[in-house]
Structure 1
Amino acid sequence: MTQQDVDDWTPLRTESLLLRRPRPDDLDPAVQIHTDPSTNRHHPEPWTVTEESSARRFQELGEHWERHGFGVWVVEQLEQPGVIVGFTGLSHRTVHQRSALNLYYRYAPDVWGKGYATEAASTAVRHAAIHLSDLPVLAYTTPDNLGSQRTALRVGLDRMSELDIEHEHYTDIFFAHNWPAGAKSRESSGS
């Protein structure tokens, strides 16, 4: 996997948002957003989202930036610098034995409905098309998470039911942009 020039990926400004690389002092807001029960309403295994697992996930976000030169951004409103409202971005993922980019978005409940996830995720998809055009962009969620599904569709991903992965107690449903036609293997690999 080619190392990206981090300057191509951060910081970025959209109409309303600042998208930047995570810093160690972002840990507390990250844990707060990721452990909020509202942000886990559609999580298939919410009991697995703890302060410890969220801190570990935050550390992994930083490691992805170190290894690859891009990743999941910390999102701030331009009108309120320093106030973290969420996280959006891309990370390497293998799905059905193919390399892809996972599109991720998670926001504090008090900013839901403002279009921030769509605004930032659109930027991520555009950047992938420019800088990582050989990789498809995927988003996955659960069948009942209609908000996440709407965001994926708004940013240009298509519903790809042939990529869905059945787990013991839940199903991951997939949306994709630039997924090669007929590329799914019959095996379900990690997502």
Structure 2
Amino acid sequence: MEVVRTERMVLSRVRPEDLEAVHEIHSDPRTNVHSSAGPTVDMEASLVMLDLWLADWAERGIGYWAARLPERPQVLGIGGLRYAPLEGEDVLHLYYRFRPTAWGHGYATELARAALRVGRGLGTVVALIGDGNEPSRRVAEKAGLHRERPIRYGGVPSDLYVA
């Protein structure tokens, strides 16, 4: 699970060396249009986020990947599965966020499908998609998730998608 190959990408567990890419992706206002938290404002906040993801791998054996094209060092995006509490249950939260230059190529859907294969049998896989986030909704549906119901998550109106 630490390294997964898809048709076009190599998905490998995030590493401390990915900090700059994590910050670039999460601090870009374009990647945060639908994020209630908005862009990550400084490298320290990105480090806190990355440390959380590194702990997921160390403690739970599953977490987010850095998505790259084979033989290319640039991180195209971050995504995968991590355990998260939802309404008193520990679920696998599906996440995907890519650089704007990677949008429109189907990479997020490819990553989401790989994550669903990895997560099969490990627990309930969900995606929480904020109102108006049509690109994320399309990715979830193409990957095979279905909308279960509306939900408020982190105080934000969202839809709960389930695999």
Shorter-chain TM range is: over 0.9
Q: Which residue of 2 is the match for residue 165 of structure 1?
A: 152
The reply on whether 1:18 has 2:5 as its aligned counterpart is no
Q: Which residue of 1 is the match for residue 30 of structure 2?
A: 38
TM-score, normalised to structure 2, is: 0.93
Give the alignment's Cα RMSD to 1 decimal: 1.5
Partner secondary structure for residue 76 of structure 2? strand
Q: Following the alignment from structure 2 to structure 1, what is the Cα–Cα distance between the partners of residues 153 and 95?
A: 20
Number of aligned residues: 162
Partner secondary structure for residue 109 of structure 2? helix
Greater Cα radius of gyration, structure 1 or 2: 1
Question: Structure 1 residue 167: deviation in Å?
Answer: 5.6
The question of whether the paired residues in 1 share the 8 Å contact of 2:95 and 2:127 is answered with: yes
2:124 paired residue among 116, 122, 136: 136
2:49 paired residue among 39, 44, 57: 57
Q: Following the alignment from structure 1 to structure 2, what is the Cα–Cα distance between the partners of residues 22 and 63?
A: 10
The one-letter code of the counterpart of 1:155 is A
Partner secondary structure for residue 120 of structure 1? helix
The one-letter code of the counterpart of 2:19 is L
Question: Structure 1 residue 77: deviation in Å?
Answer: 1.0
The reply on whether 1:116 has 2:110 as its aligned counterpart is no
TM-score, normalised to structure 1, is: 0.80
- Structure 2 gaps of 5+ residues are none
Partner secondary structure for residue 141 of structure 1? strand
- Structure holding more strand per residue: 2
The one-letter code of the counterpart of 1:136 is T
The question of whether the paired residues in 1 share the 8 Å contact of 2:128 and 2:153 is answered with: no
2:76 paired residue among 74, 85, 88: 85
Percent identity among equivalent residues? 31
The one-letter code of the counterpart of 2:52 is E
Q: Following the alignment from structure 2 to structure 1, what is the Cα–Cα distance between the partners of residues 81 and 52?
A: 13
The reply on whether 1:105 has 2:96 as its aligned counterpart is yes
CA change 1:72–1:166 in 2 (3 A) is: closer
CA change 1:166–1:20 in 2 (3 A) is: closer
The one-letter code of the counterpart of 2:158 is D
1:67 paired residue among 56, 59, 68: 59
Question: Structure 1 residue 43: deviation in Å?
Answer: 1.1
Question: Structure 1 residue 60: deviation in Å?
Answer: 0.6
1:77-123 CA-to-partner distances (Å, cap 9, x unmatched) read: 12x52111001110001111112100010000001000000001100
